[in-house]
Amino acid sequence: MTSVSAIFVRPDGEESKTIRVLNFSFEKESYMPYTKLSMTFSANEALFNSFDSPFDYSYVMFYLNDECVHKGIIDDFKLTDESGVKIGILKSRGFTSLLLDNHYEPGMHTNISIDNLIDCYNLPFVEHEPSTDTSYIYVKPNSSMWDAVVNLSYKLYGTYPYIKGQNMVKMTIDAPEKTLEFDESRIFFKGSEINTRRLVSDFYMADIDDTYGNFYHENIQAKQKKIIRNRYFDLDQRFLYEPEKALHFRNTMQSRAWKRYFIAYNGTNKEDLFDAVSFGNIVNGRIRAIKVTGDKNGIQTELSVYEDLFTP
């Protein structure tokens, strides 16, 4: 049986005792640069003995089977007291969400690696895979650090960065750490989904003289779906030395997660992104989204496998 718990941490590092979780939702997704947690819990313990309690804590750690799967900022924490029954309602994002909240210096940067990109600020608990690989990046004004990480990842490896574990930024895709196989008896439900809202049929990029016609990309899959969406944009300085890549990058981004296969089962195996899963006609598909929910009736996990241009 899966155990669930959470610990609140004060600014001085002092940890609260484990609280009793009433219901929760924990999510990871390969295009979401943080883990996400929502939970409701019993707040009748002594550590929540006043209405100042939501102001006392800096971050939260969430555990499944005694393994910490989420360490994140307290985005929203509400405490209610109804006839002496105290309930806490919390929303939290992993510390890698700070990559979205910080700007990187605008302009052209050369010889950039993941080390000197992410380590430019001392973001708490944010880690990254070690790498000495470098490339140039161009940062538009008001762009986030995550935008820069995405650009660098695509340039170096043709990948979209993702979060491993709690707050580890990864650009490369390793062999699966877990390989799971589900037969029909274990599957609570399964299905497939297509989402065409982002698909673009035709991309046109201006050249250095602001002239259109030299750089063009067509998405055949969009046109097969009878979707006609034309996009014109200026010369993308992020790919100044490889202009054709700018078109392919935009098409890849617009096509992300457009085809999805999914299953749900009771319990959890503490899967992580890019572990492998087999069910139905899917054989060793890479897990691209995880959603674990729980309440008094038990715990359920939904796993998604994508077919898109970032699929390894």
Give 219-270 pLDDT, tens digit per residue.
999 999 999 999 999 999 999 999 999 999 999 999 999 999 999 999 999 8
Tell me which residue has tokens 């302009």. Answer: 107
Which candidate, 191, 187, 176, places its Cα nearest to that of 272? Answer: 176
Considering the entire predicted model, what is its pTM? 0.94
Positive or negative torsion for Cα 41, 45, 48, 50: positive
Write out the two tokens for 260: 């999805």
Confidence check: pLDDT of 94 > 80: yes
Asked if 239 and 255 count as a contact pair (C-beta separation under 8 A), the reply is no
CA count, 13 A, side-chain hemisphere, 194 = 5
Query: How far is Cα 176 from Cα 94, in angstroms, rounded to an integer?
Result: 22
Closest residue by Cα to residue 76 from 63, 85, 88: 88
pLDDT at 131 over 80: yes
Which residues, in sequence order, are bridge partners of residue 19? 6
Three-state DSSP class for 115? helix
Q: Can you name the residues that pair with 135 across neighbouring β-strands?
A: 112
Find the helix packing angle between 145-157 and 243-254, rounded to 10°: 110
Residue 209: CB atoms within 10 A of its CB come to: 7
How far, in Å, CA of 244 to CA of 236, rounded?
10
Burial class (CB in 10 A: 0-12, 13-18, 19+), 185: exposed
Residue 297, pLDDT > 80, answer yes
pLDDT, tens only, 95-108: 999 999 999 999 99
CA dihedral 137, 116, 29, 147 (to 10 degrees): -30
Query: Residue 16 has which token pair?
Result: 């609260």
What distance in Å separates the CA atoms of residue 62 and residue 145, rounded to the nearest whole number?
Answer: 26
- Residue 7: its pLDDT value, please? 92
Dihedral sign from CA coordinates of 208, 213, 219, 225: positive
Alpha-carbon dihedral sign for residues 156, 194, 272, 286: negative
Contact 127, 112 (CB under 8 A): no
Give the pLDDT confidence score for residue 237 in this predicted structure: 94
Higher-pLDDT residue of 1 and 98 is: 98
The continuous run of DSSP H or E covering 42 comes out as strand 36-42
Predicted confidence band of residue 18 (pLDDT cuts 50, 70, 90): confident
d(CA 127, CA 165): 10
Nearest one of 17, 67, 256 to 159, comparing CA atoms? 256
Residue with tokens 């969430």: 62
Q: How confident is the model at residue 312 (pLDDT cuts 50, 70, 90)?
A: confident
| Helix, strand, coil abundance in the chain, percent, nearest 5 | 15, 45, 40
